[in-house]
């Protein structure tokens, strides 16, 4: 840059320099878009490698287009020897159908130093955020394990007490003992069989049917329960544990208070090729009772949707229809893939 006013650069040269440095703005924002696109699809190592490569490619493409524009508007020969020397290399590669002087790429790398600070800050911010998320996830996992432990201790104690009560009651009342046995089996399923994330569909269905029998014994014919099944359940069919059971229990909870002559629950299960369809509908009580129930409900269903989204993103379907006197839920859930060892046992 000239030191005296008499040697100030011309207006075309000023505009050429302005255009030359303004090109960094679209490069940065294009890089930012590519970075945000890649961070959801690749791990951290490849994210940084691909981001660096993409930034160099962006630098080269935008710089080439910028020099072509400057040459078209002002002509390199009318500007400065530096722009003429460097800009001609970029324009010449276009005229020679992609054959470029290696010096161009060294210049691209030199120009990258102008973006090192903003790009480095973005990468550092992302890395710091990822570390914070990792620490938060580890803390959440520890809290969840402690919560699960506390939730398991009480049912385990109740399970043992029910078995002790069953031994005492069986000689006196077969009907009461049968009720306790069903309750014991159901509790055993919830405490022990569902410790794994997935469970055979036939085991989950057995638990649901046991629960239906208990509700019939407890409530009689109110509500009227209808259960239909289509398709054959195979040993390899595994689903996420407690999803169907929680939805079933929720239907019974919200049917309480319905008129005796209009109190019903309808369940339909269809075994498909790659998953299971589960439809359940129930009658609803009067508005006052329903509003009171709604105040203490919804947590289980919200958690179910989060679990499904985590395990089957974009591959499940959960819909609900809330009418004045009825509620219906429709779920499609893919089967959980079985491991090679499990497949060997089944075959």
Compute the average pLDDT of residues 201-227.
86
> How many Cα neighbours within 13 Å face the side chain of 151?
12
CATH number of the domain encompassing residue 305: 3.30.565.10
Torsion of CA 198, 202, 205, 209, to 10 degrees: -140
Whether residue 340 sits in one domain with residue 202: yes
Residue 104 domain flag? yes
Q: Which residues pair with 224 in a beta bridge?
A: 264
Range of lowest pLDDT (97-111, 191-205, 215-229, 320-334):
97-111
With a cut of 80, say whether residue 61 has pLDDT above it.
Answer: yes
pLDDT tens for 143-188 read 666 565 555 545 666 666 677 777 778 788 877 777 787 777 777 7
66: number of Cβ within 10 Å: 21
Residue 342 domain flag? yes
Whether residue 212 sits in one domain with residue 104: no
- Give the span between the Cα atoms of 272 and 237, in whole angstroms: 10
Which domain does 47 fall in, by range?
A: 7-111
Residue 125 domain flag? no
With a cut of 60, say whether residue 290 has pLDDT above it.
Answer: no
**DSSP-derived secondary structure letter, 284:** -
Q: Output the pLDDT for position 58.
A: 86
Residue 93 domain flag? yes
pLDDT tens for 222-264 read 788 999 999 999 989 999 988 898 899 888 888 876 777 788 9
Residue pair 101/56 in contact by the 8 Å Cβ criterion = no
- Give the span between the Cα atoms of 1 and 73, in whole angstroms: 22
287: number of Cβ within 10 Å: 10
Whether residue 209 sits in one domain with residue 337: yes
Whether residue 334 sits in one domain with residue 210: yes
Q: Which residues pair with 275 in a beta bridge?
A: 334
Question: Quick one: tokens of 168?
Answer: 């005492």
Cα–Cα separations (whole angstroms), residue 342 to 199, 202, 235, 337:
12, 16, 10, 10
Compute the average pLDDT of residues 184-198.
70
pLDDT band at 194 (very low <50, low <70, confident <90, very high): low
Claim: this prediction has a pTM higher than 0.85: no
Range of lowest pLDDT (136-150, 190-204, 318-332):
136-150
Of 111, 129, 162, at which residue does a domain stop?
111
Whether residue 333 sits in one domain with residue 214: yes
Residue 264 domain flag? yes
Whether residue 203 sits in one domain with residue 105: no
Residue 149 domain flag? no
Q: Tell how strand 275-283 and strand 326-334 pair up.
A: antiparallel
Whether residue 332 sits in one domain with residue 225: yes
Whether residue 107 sits in one domain with residue 202: no
**Taking all residues of the chain, what is their mean pLDDT, rounded to a whole number?**
79
Q: Output the pLDDT for position 144.
A: 64
Domain tally, the chain:
2
Residue of higher predicted confidence among 270 and 70: 270
Per DSSP, the three-state class of 132 is helix
Q: Is 290 exposed, middle or buried (0-12, 13-18, 19+ CB in 10 A)?
A: buried
pLDDT tens for 25-46 read 888 888 888 888 887 788 878 8
With a cut of 50, say whether residue 295 has pLDDT above it.
Answer: no
Residue 52 domain flag? yes
Whether residue 330 sits in one domain with residue 232: yes
Whether residue 204 sits in one domain with residue 106: no
Q: Output the pLDDT for position 289.
A: 52
Whether residue 341 sits in one domain with residue 206: yes
**DSSP-derived secondary structure letter, 262:** G
Q: Which residues pair with 327 in a beta bridge?
A: 282, 322
Of 66, 88, 111, at which residue does a domain stop?
111
Of 63, 87, 111, at which residue does a domain stop?
111
Whether residue 89 sits in one domain with residue 208: no
With a cut of 70, say whether residue 142 has pLDDT above it.
Answer: no
29: number of Cβ within 10 Å: 11
Residue 245 domain flag? yes
């Amino acid at each position: 840059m000239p030191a005296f006013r008499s040697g100030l650069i011309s207006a075309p040269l000023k505009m050429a320099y302005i255009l030359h440095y303004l090109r960094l703005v679209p490069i940065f924002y294009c890089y930012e878009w590519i970075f945000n696109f890649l961070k959801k699809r690749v791990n951290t190592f490849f994210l940084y490698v691909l981001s660096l490569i993409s930034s160099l490619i962006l630098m080269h493409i935008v710089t080439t287009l910028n020099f072509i524009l400057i040459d078209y508007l002002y002509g390199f020969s009318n500007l400065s020897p530096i722009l003429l020397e460097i800009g001609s290399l970029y324009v010449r590669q276009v005229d020679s159908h992609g054959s470029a002087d290696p010096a161009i790429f060294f210049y691209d790398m030199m120009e990258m130093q102008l973006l090192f600070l903003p790009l480095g800050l973005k990468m550092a911010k992302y890395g710091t955020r990822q570390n914070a998320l990792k620490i938060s996830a580890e803390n959440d996992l520890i809290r969840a394990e402690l919560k699960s432990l506390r939730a398991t201790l009480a049912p385990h104690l109740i399970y043992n007490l029910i078995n002790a009560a069953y031994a005492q009651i069986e000689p006196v009342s077969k009907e009461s003992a049968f009720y306790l046995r069903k309750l014991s089996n159901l509790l055993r399923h919830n405490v022990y069989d569902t410790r794994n994330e997935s469970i055979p569909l036939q085991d989950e269905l057995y638990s649901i049917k046991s629960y239906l029998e208990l509700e019939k014994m407890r409530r009689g014919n109110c509500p009227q329960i209808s259960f239909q099944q289509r398709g054959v359940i195979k040993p390899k069919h595994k689903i996420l544990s407690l999803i169907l059971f929680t939805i079933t229990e929720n239907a019974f909870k919200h049917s309480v208070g319905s008129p005796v002559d209009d109190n019903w629950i309808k369940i339909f299960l269809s075994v498909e090729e790659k998953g299971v369809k589960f439809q359940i509908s129930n009658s609803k009580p009067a508005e006052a009772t329903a509003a009171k129930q709604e105040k203490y409900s919804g947590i289980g269903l919200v958690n179910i949707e989060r679990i499904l989204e985590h395990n089957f993103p974009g591959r499940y379907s959960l819909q609900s229809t809330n009418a004045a006197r009825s509620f219906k839920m429709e779920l499609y859930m893919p089967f959980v893939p079985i491991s090679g060892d499990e497949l060997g046992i089944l075959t």
